[in-house]
Structures are given as C-alpha cells and as structure tokens.
Amino acid sequence: MLDGPDNTLQPLYIPPEQILVWIDRLRPHIQKMADGSGGRFQTSDILTCLATGAMQCFVAIEGIDLLAVMLTEIMNYPRFRAMRCIGISGRDAPRWTHLMAAIEKVARENFGCTRIEALVQPGHERLLTTGGWRDSHHLIEKDLT
C-alpha cells in the first residue's frame, strides 16, 4: 500500500536526463545563482551545463518541498579529481547543511573524486564550517579593463 510521499528531509541528485522534469522548480534557484555569479553564467548557460552533464545538480527535498539547490562541477587536476560546489540557493540552511555528507559520498563513489571544494561569496563560508570542511584558500578576483 502506498502511504504517500516520503516527508523526510533528503538529498537527491538530479541526473542530466531529468533536468527538464525539474526545470520549473529549479529555475528560480538557478536564476539566483546566475545573478550572483559576477557575470560568469546566465541561467541558460547553467541549464545547458546541467542537461549535458557538465554540471551536477543536487537538491534538499522534504516531501514536495524543495529547500535548497546545489550546483557542482568536476575539476580534473593533474594529481586528483574534485567536486567543486559552485552555487547553493535555498532557505532554512541549518536544516539541510548536514546533507553535505551524502553529497560527499556521491562525489567519491559516483564521480571518483578525492576532494570536494567550494567557491563561496564572502560570509557564506559559515554554511560549510562543519563536517570536516576547513578554510584553506580564498578566491579573490580583479576585472581587467
């Protein structure tokens, strides 16, 4: 007997072939990330990358309630492979930040990564200060005119 949707908070990887199914729910989060990317991405760029597998999409979902969306990309360095978090959009962060452990497991087991890293806006690093994350570098930038 079907008891209804699972109402527990859980992480979910959205594979490239499912992006179009989720697009209406993902679009506001992706738009917010594109707007905050410093001109690196437009929404259409991110959607193309997700649909082709160049970026990965994870969500924190509780029943039908989408609490957060996280985008990653795989970085192939000469000495190791890393999953880099390039954007997070959501609400009620204290409820879902512990789900990073499940994403780390996916990075290891499904993508062959030995490291996970994040590019964050100033002040947002506090979301990743638990679960073994350490602050080792900061990315700063300068526009050349």
Q: Transcribe 32-43 into DSSP letters.
A: HHHHTTTTS--H
Per-residue model confidence as pLDDT tens digits over 13-52 = 999 999 999 999 999 999 999 998 888 899 999 999 999 9
138 lies in some domain = no
For residue 80, the domain's CATH number is 3.40.630.30
Distance CA 4, CA 6 (A): 7
Query: Above 80 in pLDDT, residue 134?
Result: no
Share above pLDDT 70 across residues of the chain, in percent, rounded to a whole number: 81
Q: For residue 141, tell me if it sits in a domain.
A: no
**Domain carrying residue 22:** 9-128
* Residue 143 CB coordination number (10 Å): 6
Q: Tokens representing 119?
A: 């590019």
- HSE-CB of 101 using CA atoms within 13 angstroms: 6
- What does the pLDDT read at residue 38? 84
